[in-house]
A and B are shown apart, each in its own frame.
Chain A
């Protein structure tokens, strides 16, 4: 006989789960009891996080770095509600995570029992699927279906809630039916439709374009389609731009790549996108961060070709001239084939020259130095030079994230993990820990803000206790910089509720947690600290002082169009 908790763990193991991030409590502790032997044998690893939000972000970072779903667990009530921000974050960035919560026993649900929370009801608007287990017998099926839903189609988080009395029920092991295939009805992964006519039409548009551009989103990384996208760009001689999360999809040292476009993106990328006459969008949902004004894009009269796994994405923002639904890898390959068949007819050199001009012109605004100050672009450049090519970086949310958007050079797919859809401060550190567990051979660095870091920074204790050697570089501007910047530029300099005092001392904080702490007040000191942290291979915090007044540029006025981009510090010209 085995109990429901053991059955759940067996089901997870059958799905290939190796790591569980979580915190135990009354309602999920049966699970812990059930996996003790697996921890001892090394078949499973549990990472005891300091907050359930961080457990979810860690599972999310694990998924983004590997493509394999991450798993988190929490107890009922506050444990479960603490997961919500993490679930919403994974949902908005289409990251496959399975969250397992225990709930109060069925006999007391609805009676305001101790730590009762209707987590299924609370989560269901911000997850791909929220499902509550009703009987012991359905555990194998529900778990199988949960993983299936999380990873197929547009990936996303799934919540599985189990009343804890079910964990305690017993069943004869031989009576358990393990499903070979997912059994969920009323769910289908989106099909990949190879519509030859549409593919030919797309190829013709691209071949005949004067100024083609390819916009890539995170979908390219999820579909492992980087190689195919680069091939197509090369055949077409088409520049590539990305969304912010799409940074993770293209090596930035590719000569055709211009960088991310959008709200805080690179001007040359946004302008090339505007000037293009045909845009091929691959795996991007065209959020209001990328196209800040849909009218502005429509007014350019360009043709849009869109490849998306989720067919509703292609119509949401802008009507596509050619819409192709399905796997980005397969469809991009098909377009390349069709393009090769037709053959390239246009001379692309004027367009490539124009793009080069844009790039060279805007470079003058990005890379200026100020003596006595650490400039974000140079900080990032210093870090890039020290880290190996395949190092993974994560970010918090704020100016530092936008600096990373503009200046961080991604060199391998899936090495830039950032909360872009939800913009969740506190994502960076736990996501880095999750990424490190998924890819232990990689150096993992959290590029964080002082505000964001402290939202989940207590999980540094977990990194130390569990020997997860990540490095957090804290851009310490003693302020909620991005909000301050908006107040400064667009609220008549009425700075309120953003500046911090002297607390904390990040070096001492790191040391108190048992991590290495560095105060990197020069580029050399930064490089040295990074090298030392990598060599020691232990968790480390490197504090980099940044001026409060430093702006994240380029930016737009609130609600602005890409054309209204601000590239110079407007406070200096006035």
Chain B
């Protein structure tokens, strides 16, 4: 498994979807702390669950962000993917998927997908913290 450089922190948020305000609230927390978002994916899964993955350039406010997010109503848990490396895939508009090797290889309508590869997760949920090893 190749690991590209990881100047960024990767988090996964599992939340309850009532309306898109859940995304606004999550991103407002990031914005308030002067942090940036490198990439962001969200999708609604079973029932009212929404899953969010985001990549954030590392920042001194990262711990504060996790603390604030983990006590946001409708957020079930925030997971920090501790050892995440990113593999970039590209899907073109015909549905062909390939590994991205150089950024020049991306054309208009190509979709870049950042896939985090990780085995260690720290989970924060409403005042509780727990580490998990996934193998």
Contact = CB atoms under 8 A, between A and B. Distances in A.
Interface of A: 120-121, 124-125, 128-132, 134, 149, 153-154, 184-191, 193, 310-312, 315-316, 325
B131 interface: no
Nearest to A128: B73
A325 B73 contact: no
Contact of B24 (A121, A191, A310): A121
Given A124-B25, A315-B63, A325-B127, A149 B73 contact: yes
B68 to A, nearest CB: 7
B127 A311 contact: yes
B70 interface: yes
Nearest to A187: B73
Contacts of B67: 311-312, 315-316
B16 interface: yes
B4 interface: no
Given A124-B24, A190-B127, A312-B67, A184 B73 contact: yes
B70 to A, nearest CB: 7
B64 interface: yes
B22 to A, nearest CB: 9
Given A124-B21, A191-B127, A186 B75 contact: yes
B19 A132 contact: yes
25 contacts: A120-B21, A124-B24, A124-B28, A125-B25, A125-B28, A128-B73, A129-B73, A131-B18, A132-B21, A153-B126, A154-B71, A184-B73, A185-B74, A186-B16, A186-B73, A187-B126, A188-B126, A189-B126, A190-B71, A191-B127, A193-B127, A312-B67, A312-B70, A315-B63, A316-B67
Instruction: For the complex of A and B, list the 8 residue pairs with the smallest distance between their C-beta atoms, beginning with the closest.
Output: A312-B67, A186-B16, A186-B74, A190-B127, A188-B126, A129-B73, A311-B127, A187-B73
A132 B21 CA distance: 10
B48 interface: yes
A204 to B, nearest CB: 24
A124 B26 CA distance: 11
A154 B68 CA distance: 12
A149 B73 CA distance: 8
Specify which of A187, A190, A310, A316 lies most central, judged by the most chain B CB atoms within 10 Å of its CB: A187
A184 B28 CA distance: 22
Contacts of B68: 312
Contacts, number: 64
Contacts of B76: 185-186
A134 B48 CA distance: 15
Contacts of A124: 21, 24-25, 28
Nearest to B67: A312
B32 interface: yes
Interface in B13-62: 15-16, 18-19, 21, 24-25, 28, 32, 48
Specify which of B15, B24, B68, B125 lies most central, judged by the most chain A CB atoms within 10 Å of its CB: B24
B128 interface: yes
Contacts of B16: 184-186
Nearest to A313: B67
B25 to A, nearest CB: 6
A198 to B, nearest CB: 14
Contacts of B15: 186
A319 to B, nearest CB: 11
Contacts of B73: 128-129, 149, 184, 186-187
Contacts of B125: 188
B71 A316 contact: no
B71 A310 contact: yes
Given A310-B71, A311-B127, A121 B19 contact: no
Contacts of A121: 21, 24
Nearest to A189: B126
A189 B21 CA distance: 21
B126 A190 contact: yes
A190 B67 CA distance: 13
A67 to B, nearest CB: 21
Contacts of A190: 71, 126-127
A316 B127 contact: no
Given A128-B73, A153-B126, A311-B127, 8 more contacts: A124-B28, A125-B25, A129-B73, A187-B73, A188-B127, A191-B127, A311-B67, A312-B71
B19 A185 contact: no
A184 B75 CA distance: 11
A109 to B, nearest CB: 12
Contacts of A188: 125-127
Contacts of B126: 153, 187-191
Interface string B80-112: 000000000000000000000000000000000
B87 to A, nearest CB: 30
Nearest to A156: B73
Nearest to A134: B19
Interface string B116-135: 00000000011110000000
